[in-house]
Structures are given as C-alpha cells and as structure tokens.
C-alpha cells in the first residue's frame, strides 16, 4: 500500500538520511541517495524499461527532483556494477551536472564511459576494487566483491559518524563461478562483527526457495543444443552478460561454428569485455554478420540482443521479418538465454510465437536450462542474514512481493520485525544510534525518455496514447453560424482505428446537428462550448452503441 506523503523533518547534523529514488517496488532504475552533514552520495543510477502500457517510451529514469537543487552537494556516484538498470540513467544525471565523479570497477567504468561517449560527455571517473576504501567527505566507503551475472560487481559498506550501511548491489552466492570470483562472505562476516546498522539487500529472488543454480551448469546444456542444431543458431541475451556470451562462444568453438555479434550494444560491450580480458575469444572465432551470410548454415552462430522482447532489438526484428540481414527459417535454432523481467512476459512470448511461426526451434528457460539468475534466492539471503546479523534491514531491488519475502527472511533470522523497513521509492529513512526510522515519504514519479525528450511525457499523454491504440480516434469538423446555430459545413466525421467505414456515423450526424441547434437556442455563442456539445453528443452515442471510448477531437469554427 502506498505510503501517505509526508515531508521529512530537517536533517540534524550527525544523522544519515537514506532515500531510494528508484528500484523499490520495481525491477529497474536503481538509485539511492545518502545524505550526511549536507553532503550527498549516490549509489547506482539506472533505468527501467517500459511496459506495454507505456507506448512510445524508450526508457524510464529515476526521479531526480528531490536532489535537482542539491547537485553541487553530490560528492560522487558509486556504481555497484555495469547493468543498465544500475548505470543507464547516469548520462541524464550528468547532463544536469557533468563533473560529478563516478566510482566503479574497471569493467563498470569502461561500460559507462562508452555510454557517456555516445552522449558526448567526458566523465570524471575513479577506479576502485574489492578490498579498497575511499573517503568521500563524511562517508567512508569499503568495497566488497560479490558474484553476479556480470564481472566486477561490488557491494559497498558506507561508514559514517551516524552509523554504517551495507548495500549489497545485485548479488548471488555461486560457489563455483565461471570467473572464480566469489561473493566475499568473509568480509560480510567481518563487517557483521564490526556492526551493520542498516543492511540494504537485493530482493529479486527472495520469493524463490533454496539456492540459485550455478552458472557452470548452463555450459554443457548450451554445448549440446548448439551441437545438435541442424542449421543456424541464434542466441539472444543481455548485451552485458559477459559470462553467458563466453559460454555461448565456447559452445560455438566446440561445434566448429563462427560467431557473429549482432546489435550495437552487444558489439560495443563485448568489445570492451574482450579488450579488458573479461571475455576470451579464440582467434578466428568472430566474423562480421555480413560475412556470416556467405557461410554454411551449420557453421554459424549469431549472438544478438532482444531477450526481453524489446521491439527494436535484434530478435524482435527477426521475428517480425524486419531484420536487415538475418531471416529466420525452418530448421534454425533460437535460444533465449535469459530470464523474464517482470512486465516483459507478453512481449517475449509474442517474439517466441513469431519465431515458431517462421519454423524455428525456440529454446528458452521454460523448456530447457539455458539460463540461471544472477540474484540470490531465499536460502542465500538467509545465509547472509545469519552472517551479517544486522541491526536493521531495508529490502531493495524488487517488486512488492520480493521486498516482503526478503523482510520475512530477515525476521526469521532474528531481525526484529520493527527493525525491517519495507519502503517504496521516496521513503525517507534516517539512521542514527543503531536505529533506522522512517521519517517521511516524498512524491516520486516516473520520468519518461521519449526520443530526444526527457520528462516531458506525462501520465496523461500515455493515457491518450493507450486510448489511441486501444479505442481509436474520431475527428469531427463543423463550420457554423454562431448567432443562428445554423450549420454551414459538416458534420464531417473521420475515424482511425474505430471502424472500417466512416458511414457508420450517418446515424449520429442528425443528433449532433440537433444538439448544436438546441445549444444555440439556449444562448450558447462561443466555439469552445459548441465543441463540448459535439464531444458529449458523439461520446454518448459511441459509448451506448459501440461500447467504446475513443479519443474525440471536435473542431467547430465560425463561418
């Protein structure tokens, strides 16, 4: 249930304030602001991808409004890892102040620097690594290695005079990770012994029992599928999932296939990963997608984007027969090597159905073990709570069901129920003396990126778009003598997405004429009032006769 809006009190010196501006109650746009002694620290700054109910929207940003007037107080942006839902909004924040320092590991900074280059922003970056510490004003940061579905992920311990906060970022506890980089439970235990006043914990898989399967389990299955594929293989994954791309590449090499990377973000990110040594590509494995067209079908594997059904990504264009180079046909094998982000289900299954209709064999998480999550399941979370033994817990990164499941795990481990904070975006939590107290609730909205515009699209605009898509559009043009109420031209009625033939409106035209004459007889003279009469008349007719609610645009002019 949404919290009532409540302005927090002025922040006292020596008290740490924590405000999530995104990532609570949703999977995406993760961003948390920490404030102490008039200085701000930001952890992550990501995007949320739109759902079908948000037509035309490209990205959704965190709401920067609570800090827009405080940007000079921001000491740094600390990025826990390089996924879009944690770094994708950085360019939009830096457009408000371009010299905010960015902290992160080598790969994370390389990914954000490439993204910022596209926005023509030269950032101030500072590389950090696991085990390191940085002092930023009143904040003392320590970085802890965590295992995730991208290399170089970090948790961060934030120490201050007000208390300490351990922020996990995204993590899981794979005990045999592909890169050998374990979640550093020894450091978690050490920090727990020191004392963690607030534990901010990834909730994405909190409602999944047990432990998340190992990444290493996926490799043999991919190898088997690729080996048995009779023609081309197309694998879709996140453009930043270096481990999965490595497994796919290894499977291709074993089956004597060449690999073509498809999609700008896939080519860019894997180029960075290869250059930095995170992706190991045997010589001669990669080929240009155009050259791959000339090769035998059973010797090619395409690695593409679009595992979430994004309409402009490579896989969706293939399913719609709109891709510039790749045309799916019978005998092709398509592998969706990713999990479903909540809200994307319809889009993904639409792509799967389209591929199957084209004759492809589609392999996905629902029918084969071709993906494991990058997030800790319930058993792993319980393990962490028992190690850290935090005084207070705030579940983050998840929808309502994930947050509550996470809180219940914390309570089962011994954290008092009153010490678990189930918040939402804009919930203000003050930390001091070992206590974490909710002191306010800010009004946090969605900031939509639509083409080149940022924040100009409103909920009302989206409602109009949904109406246009679902109910159609009707325009009515009338020229009339305002004094007499006599119609000189019209009513001319045209519709889109409502009916195949405009003759359907023949029955309502006399009603519109009569309604205008009646309005004129009662003294109506201005065109705006006449337009309202037209809108009400045809709106009532459409609702009664057709059970529809299209967008109605009446135009009445004086002649």
Q: What are 42-72's pLDDT values in tens digits?
A: 999 999 876 656 556 667 889 999 999 999 9
Q: Which residue has the tokens 């010589």?
A: 283
CA 68 and chain centroid, separation: 22
Tokens describing residue 316: 């969706």
**Strand 59-61 with 74-78, pairing:** unpaired
Is the model more confident about 146 or about 464? 146
Is the model more confident about 13 or about 546? 13
**Distance in Å from the first CA to the final CA of the chain:** 54
Give SS3 for 512.
Answer: helix
Spatial strand order of the sheet with 551-558 comes to: 486-496, 473-481, 551-558
Spatial strand order of the sheet with 198-202 comes to: 133-136, 139-145, 154-160, 163-167, 198-202, 393-396
Identify the CATH homologous superfamily for domain 16-210+374-454: Ribonuclease Z/Hydroxyacylglutathione hydrolase-like (3.60.15.10)
Average pLDDT over residues 518-537: 77
Average pLDDT over residues 405-413: 97
Separation in Å, CA 429 to CA 23, 139, 281, 469? 15, 17, 46, 41
Separation in Å, CA 187 to CA 157, 161, 230? 10, 21, 48
Highest mean pLDDT among 140-144, 242-246, 356-360, 460-464: 140-144
Q: Specify the pLDDT at position 488.
A: 75
Separation in Å, CA 386 to CA 179, 189, 412? 26, 9, 10
**Strand 31-36 with 16-22, pairing:** antiparallel
pLDDT range class, residue 453, cuts 50, 70, 90 = low
Give SS3 for 324.
Answer: coil
Give the number of other CB atoms < 10 A from CB of residue 229: 22
pLDDT range class, residue 369, cuts 50, 70, 90 = confident
Domain covering 471-558 assigned CATH 3.40.50.300 in the classification: no
Out of 238-242, 391-395, 500-504, least confident range = 500-504
Average pLDDT over residues 222-238: 91
CA distance 511 to 513: 5
Of residues 22, 33, 381, 372, the one with CA closest to residue 213:
372
| Length, in residues, of the chain | 559
Q: Range(s) for CATH 3.40.50.10710 in the chain? A: 215-363
Res 499 pLDDT > 70: no
Res 373 pLDDT > 70: yes
Highest mean pLDDT among 142-156, 289-303, 441-455: 142-156
Is the pTM of the predicted complex or chain greater than 0.95? no
CA distance 61 to 461: 17
Separation in Å, CA 123 to CA 23, 32, 85, 99, 162? 24, 20, 19, 7, 31
CA distance 319 to 129: 41
CA distance 414 to 391: 10
Average pLDDT over residues 548-555: 75
Query: C-alpha angle with apex 373: 372 to 376, nearest 5 degrees?
Result: 130
CA distance 321 to 24: 37
Q: Specify the pLDDT at position 312.
A: 56
Of residues 34, 35, 61, the one with CA closest to residue 50:
61
CA distance 55 to 260: 31
Of residues 449, 452, 377, the one with CA closest to residue 29:
449
- pLDDT tens digits along 108-165: 999 999 999 988 999 999 999 999 999 999 999 999 999 999 999 999 999 999 999 9
Q: Kindly tell me the burial class for residue 210, based on how many C-beta atoms sit within 10 Å of its own C-beta (0-12, 13-18, 19 or more).
A: exposed
Q: H or E element: which one contains 167?
A: strand 163-167
Tokens describing residue 524: 């109506």
CA distance 298 to 285: 15
Separation in Å, CA 228 to CA 37, 335, 360, 444? 62, 13, 14, 51
CA distance 366 to 370: 9
Q: Specify the pLDDT at position 340.
A: 65
Q: Range(s) for CATH 3.10.20.580 in the chain? A: 471-558
Of residues 534, 515, 557, 544, the one with CA closest to residue 474:
534
CA distance 350 to 344: 10
CA distance 526 to 528: 6
Highest mean pLDDT among 140-144, 249-253, 329-333, 476-480: 140-144
Q: Specify the pLDDT at position 506.
A: 74
Tokens describing residue 457: 């699209």
Give SS3 for 218.
Answer: helix
The CATH number of 215-363 is 3.40.50.10710
Q: Range(s) for CATH 3.60.15.10 in the chain? A: 16-210+374-454
CA 296 and chain centroid, separation: 38
């Amino acid at each position: 249930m949404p919290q009532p809006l409540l302005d927090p009190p002025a922040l006292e010196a020596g008290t740490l304030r924590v405000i999530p501006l995104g990532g609570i109650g949703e999977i995406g746009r993760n961003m948390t602001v920490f404030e102490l002694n008039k200085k701000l620290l930001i952890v992550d700054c990501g995007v949320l991808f739109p759902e079908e109910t948000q037509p035309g929207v490209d990205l959704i940003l965190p709401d920067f409004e609570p800090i827009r007037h405080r940007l000079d107080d921001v000491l740094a942006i600390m990025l826990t890892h390089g996924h879009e839902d944690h770094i994708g909004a950085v360019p939009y924040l830096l457009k408000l102040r371009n010299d905010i320092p960015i902290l992160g590991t080598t790969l994370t900074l390389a990914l954000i620097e490439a993204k910022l280059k596209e926005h023509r922003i030269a950032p101030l970056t500072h590389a950090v690594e696991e085990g390191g510490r940085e002092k930023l004003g009143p904040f003392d940061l320590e970085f802890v290695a965590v295992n995730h579905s991208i290399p170089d992920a970090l948790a961060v311990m934030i120490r201050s005079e007000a208390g300490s906060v351990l922020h996990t970022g995204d993590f899981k506890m794979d005990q045999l990770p592909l890169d050998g980089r374990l979640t550093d439970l020894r450091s978690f235990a050490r920090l727990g012994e020191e004392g963690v006043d607030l534990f901010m914990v990834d909730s994405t898989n909190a409602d999944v029992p047990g432990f998340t399967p190992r990444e290493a389990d996926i490799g043999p299955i991919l190898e088997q599928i690729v080996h048995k594929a009779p023609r081309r293989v197309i694998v879709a994954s996140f453009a930043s999932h270096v481990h999965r791309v490595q497994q796919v590449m290894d499977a291709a090499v074993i089956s004597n296939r060449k690999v073509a990377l498809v999609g700008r973000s896939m080519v860019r990110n894997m180029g960075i990963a290869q250059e930095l040594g995170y992706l190991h590509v045997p010589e001669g494995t990669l080929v240009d997608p155009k050259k791959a067209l000339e090769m035998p079908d059973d010797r090619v594997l395409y690695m593409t984007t679009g595992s979430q059904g994004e309409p402009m990504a490579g896989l969706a264009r293939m399913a719609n027969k709109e891709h510039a180079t790749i045309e799916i046909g019978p005998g092709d094998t398509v592998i969706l090597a990713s999990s479903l982000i909540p809200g994307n289900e319809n889009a993904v299954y639409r792509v799967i159905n389209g591929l199957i209709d084209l004759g492809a064999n589609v392999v996905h998480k629902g029918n084969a073990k071709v993906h494991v999550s990058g997030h800790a399941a319930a058993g792993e979370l319980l393990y962490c709570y028992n190690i850290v033994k935090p005084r207070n817990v705030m579940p983050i990164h998840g929808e309502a069901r994930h947050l509550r499941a996470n809180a219940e795990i914390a309570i089962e481990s011994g954290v008092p129920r009153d010490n678990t904070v189930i918040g939402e975006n804009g919930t203000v939590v003050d930390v001091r003396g070992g206590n974490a107290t909710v002191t306010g609730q800010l009004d946090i909205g969605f900031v939509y990126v639509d083409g080149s515009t940022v924040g100009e699209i409103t909920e009302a605009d989206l409602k109009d778009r949904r109406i246009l898509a679902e109910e159609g559009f009707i325009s009515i043009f009338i020229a009339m003598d305002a004094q007499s109420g006599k119609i000189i031209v019209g009513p001319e009625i045209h519709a889109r997405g409502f009916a195949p033939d405009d003759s359907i409106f023949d029955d309502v035209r006399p009603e519109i004429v009569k309604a205008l004459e009646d309005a004129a007889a009662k003294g109506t003279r201005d065109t705006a009032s006449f337009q309202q009469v037209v809108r009400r008349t045809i709106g009532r007719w459409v609702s009664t006769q057709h059970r529809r609610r299209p967008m109605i645009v009446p135009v009445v002019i004086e002649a």
